[in-house]
Structure 1
Amino acid sequence: MQIVHFDDDNWFRDHPSGVLHFQHMLRGEPGSPNNYMYVLAKQVGEWSMPRHRHNFEQIRIPLVGSNTTYGPKVELKEGQIGYFPEGLSYGPQESPLTDLKPGEPLALALQFGGSSGYGFMSIEQRRQAMKELVQAGGKFEGPLYVSPEGKRQWGLNTVWEHVFGERLKYPRPRYNHPVIADPKRFNWLPVDGAKGVDHKFMGSFSERGVWIEMVKLRPGAQWPSVDSGAERILTVLSGEGECEGENLRYLSTLRADADDQLTLTASGSCELELILIGMPPVVIPDEASEEYEIDPDPAPGQPVHVDSGF
């Protein structure tokens, strides 16, 4: 079990746009198909990204601000929850500040390996690979990598192959569109065996069965949470509480392995509300799927796109 707290002095400029600053809340196990990155993102300027795709899954939760669009008629508003399947192209992304000040828009984002088993390359792995490729005599020009022999390749493909020893595969998407859930439209239902505790279940996705729900504890209520089949990530959205003797506040985040029991208590006079993401392990099929694509390297003069990493 792990508990981390929001720290307003702990931001990193990890996004290619330069205007999204990340606070790394939790990380998975590099090299594992279950690897993930869970960040709090702060927007300090307007930005946009062309249409693109990833070979991993994403869950996005805007906390403050509702200005980001992910393509025609795909807008993720404040308080909603978005699921972006692996392999699905989305965009163009547009994120103006409108009436918000730089640094005010906040969002949680979980990027994680999907059911394809292709995994998730961590920022640390990407940085190290880029460093080693440059040290070997190559160079990066925008989204391209130019080898010591002068061959132009997609930069992300080159980095992926350097880390994992094979070309980057994009699984053909299992869903045709991002899934946007509006928690306000879901009912609070009682949690069995936990007086004063309610939840909203908002769905599970793909054969991996990653699920999203919200949990609410009334003042003084206690919730013993355990799941034998999944790692769980919980983040406090409002209220105060306690877990295993440690105080919880806004954006406190907990990670529990399968079979870990968390006992949460709502303290004070307000309800304690959390978002919970359950992450069963990836099961690698006996026969590898043929449902994937590999991007060819660009021909000279071919227009290029940028993979945002987010």
Structure 2
Amino acid sequence: MKIVPFDPSNWKKDHPTGAIAFQHMLKGDDPTSPENFMYILARQDADFHMPRHRHNFEQIRLPLKGAYHVQPGLTLEEGQIGYFPEGLAYGPQEDPITEQTPAGRLLLTLQFGGSSTYGFMSIEQRRQAWKELEKSGRFDGPFYVRSDGKREWGLNAIWQQAFGVKLKYPHPRYRKVIVADPKHFNWLTLKGLPGVDHKFMGSFAERGVWIEMIRLRGEASWSSVDESSQRLFVVLSGEGTVDANPLTPLTALQVYPGEKLEIETTSTMELFLVGLPPIEPPVVESDQFAEEEMRPEDQLEQLRSGA
């Protein structure tokens, strides 16, 4: 088990726009695994803009403070949860800093390899590729400009530099970002565990990644184990202990398959849970992918069609 308390001094400026600072909470143990992941807390420090784009990995996002603009007509409000399928384009994003929406918005973001088995590039691999690419070109926001003036999407250039092959974008399994509003789900008591409730908010794609809220009411204890799936928790409120280690708001937990989790609380605690089952390789490798970021005209057409 990994236990990572919130560290208010440990912010890193890792976003290509420079507008976002990251608190790196949890990451996968093996960056070469298709199950690699990165769990971060993002803080917006300046006006944020990103053109419409897509990724070859999955994302789950939860705004903890302020709203998060996904694209025209779609905003994740504070407390709502968004599932972003691999390969699905979203944006353009516009999150300016105003009197009504000041700096300091906080967003939990989990990025992880999806059912396509394409995996997820680690932050260390990304930083190294970025450093190497700067020797023969420059980054302009999310774009990379080569010495001959050729301009391309930065993630494509970074991926090819890191792995020596073109990045593959899987065709999206879902047509839209899926938004869950926890306020609209009922708390249900976990069987045989008085004082422990949960809200199950869905599972997705062949992998069956699931999203859930757990609540321990007052002074309570919870012992649980999952034999096959890795579980990632973030404490949203309340205090307690896990294996005699303190649990306070924004503490992150990584619990391995077969590992017993034992939590005791001193006050009502709510936890955000994402379950990561193992990825099963497909019987036949899929040919449902693209190797280039969408052309601007295609991005605009997809946005108009609502796809």
Report what 2:73 is aligned to. 73
AA partner of residue 17 (structure 1): T
1:122 positional shift: 1.7
Report what 2:263 is aligned to. 264
Q: Kindly indicate whether residue 158 of structure 2 is the aligned counterpart of residue 159 of structure 1.
A: yes
Q: Kindly indicate whether residue 286 of structure 2 is the aligned counterpart of residue 289 of structure 1.
A: yes
Residues 217 and 273, structure 1, Cα contact 8 Å, conserved in 2: yes
Change (3 A) 1:296 1:176: closer
Give matches, 1:135-174, under 5 Å. Answer: 135=135, 138-142=136-140, 143-146=143-146, 154-174=153-173
Instruction: Tell me the secondary structure at the aligned position of residue 130 of structure 1.
Output: helix
Residues 242 and 261, structure 2, Cα contact 8 Å, conserved in 1: yes
Change (3 A) 1:31 1:218: same
Q: Kindly indicate whether residue 113 of structure 2 is the aligned counterpart of residue 113 of structure 1.
A: yes
User: Can you list the C-alpha shifts for 1:88-146, whole angstroms capped at 9, x where unaligned?
Assistant: 0001111133424322x1110001111101111122101112323445xx223531352
Give matches, 1:11-30, under 5 Å. Answer: 11-28=11-28, 29-30=30-31
User: Can you list the C-alpha shifts for 1:173-225, whole angstroms capped at 9, x where unaligned?
Assistant: 00000000000000100112322100000000100111000000011211112
Instruction: Tell me the secondary structure at the aligned position of residue 71 of structure 2.
Output: coil
Aligned residues: 294
| Residues in 1 aligned to 2:187 and 2:294: alpha-carbon distance in whole angstroms | 50
| Residues in 1 aligned to 2:144 and 2:62: alpha-carbon distance in whole angstroms | 31
Residues 54 and 293, structure 2, Cα contact 8 Å, conserved in 1: no
Report what 1:55 is aligned to. 56
1:7 positional shift: 1.0
AA partner of residue 204 (structure 2): F
Change (3 A) 1:127 1:199: same
1:286 positional shift: 2.6
Report what 2:33 is aligned to. 32
1:72 positional shift: 2.6
Instruction: Tell me the secondary structure at the aligned position of residue 70 of structure 1.
Output: strand
Report what 2:188 is aligned to. 189
Q: Kindly indicate whether residue 277 of structure 2 is the aligned counterpart of residue 280 of structure 1.
A: yes
Report what 2:7 is aligned to. 7
| Residues in 1 aligned to 2:34 and 2:224: alpha-carbon distance in whole angstroms | 25
Report what 1:41 is aligned to. 42
AA partner of residue 64 (structure 1): K
Change (3 A) 1:45 1:159: closer
Residues 82 and 181, structure 1, Cα contact 8 Å, conserved in 2: yes
Residues 53 and 294, structure 2, Cα contact 8 Å, conserved in 1: no
Residues 152 and 297, structure 1, Cα contact 8 Å, conserved in 2: no
Q: Kindly indicate whether residue 200 of structure 2 is the aligned counterpart of residue 201 of structure 1.
A: yes
Instruction: Tell me the secondary structure at the aligned position of residue 281 of structure 1.
Output: coil
Residues 60 and 81, structure 2, Cα contact 8 Å, conserved in 1: yes
Residues 144 and 152, structure 2, Cα contact 8 Å, conserved in 1: yes
**Identity value in percent:** 53
Instruction: Tell me the secondary structure at the aligned position of residue 274 of structure 1.
Output: strand
| Residues in 2 aligned to 1:53 and 1:192: alpha-carbon distance in whole angstroms | 40
| Residues in 2 aligned to 1:24 and 1:288: alpha-carbon distance in whole angstroms | 33
Residues 215 and 275, structure 1, Cα contact 8 Å, conserved in 2: yes
AA partner of residue 11 (structure 2): W
| Residues in 1 aligned to 2:31 and 2:150: alpha-carbon distance in whole angstroms | 29
1:293 positional shift: 0.7
Change (3 A) 1:23 1:152: closer
What are the ranges of 5 or more consecutive residues in structure 2 without an aligned counterpart? 300-307
AA partner of residue 242 (structure 1): T
Instruction: Tell me the secondary structure at the aligned position of residue 131 of structure 1.
Output: helix
| C-alpha RMSD of matched pairs (Å) | 2.0
Report what 2:222 is aligned to. 223
| Residues in 2 aligned to 1:278 and 1:236: alpha-carbon distance in whole angstroms | 15
1:157 positional shift: 2.2
With normalisation by structure 2, the TM-score equals: 0.90
